Structure 1
Amino acid sequence: MRSWQEMNALALAYLGDAVYELWVRTHLLELGHEKVKELHRRAISYVRAGTQAQILHALLPELDEVEQQVVLRGRNAKGGHPKNVDVVTYRHATAFESLVGYWHLNGQTSRMQWAFGQVDGILQEESLKQANTH
């Protein structure tokens, strides 16, 4: 297998998207959600581009140099056409997915779990911000 540096950043994002989606679905089941409509609605809040961009911004200060390089490559990759979101947010979401793909390919499960472990707190923080602005 080629190294992550040789791999197309969008291919890393493609893999990262699937890995993150699987984590989200598993996580929601572990939280006790069982109704499919509710699972789908909640999953969307985790996987939408805006949420992924927020997660990335929260993680950035903790990323090492190689992880930051992966993020830059993912953010700068050309491809895809965002729907219902601005291009900057879309690119940051792609960068997050690239990072997850990198972690997965390199067997950095503990690093990935560290990041995923912060997702609920990031979502709650964003919910509070939105509630305070309305």
Structure 2
Amino acid sequence: MEIVKAGNSDISAILSLSSQMGYSLSGQTGYENLQRILQHPDHEIYLAWADGELAGYIHVCKMLRVTSKPFLEIIGLVVDNKQRRQGIGKLLVEKCRTQLKVPTVRVRTNAKRQDAIAFYESLGFERAKDQMVMVLE
């Protein structure tokens, strides 16, 4: 297992893996979004490679708020369906914490995704609050 920072040459593999979770942003928009993320100084994407195949990735953002100390927010964490329950997600979270040296990590997850909640709790994450997402388009 090798964990490395993502680059432009990894965009297609990231988009393909994301589709397993139902994220269907592909084509030019997905490519452009990932290019911008990879160039942004506050965003990082780490990839877990196993036997030459993308086994998982984590996208984190260094967050600054007026009302709290800096923290990392997990924007996305995806592990290949065939590779789950092998510790890859845990390794990706640990890589971010050690590499980026930010002690607090936050994640938002849909309340319906009990498997994701159980995963994060197994890593020591605690529920901090319930929120509602509101959108203005």
TM-score in terms of structure 2 length? 0.28
Instruction: Flag the structure with higher helix content.
Output: 1
TM-score in terms of structure 1 length? 0.28
**Greater relative contact order structure (CA < 8 Å, 6+ sep):** 1
Instruction: Flag the structure with higher strand content.
Output: 2
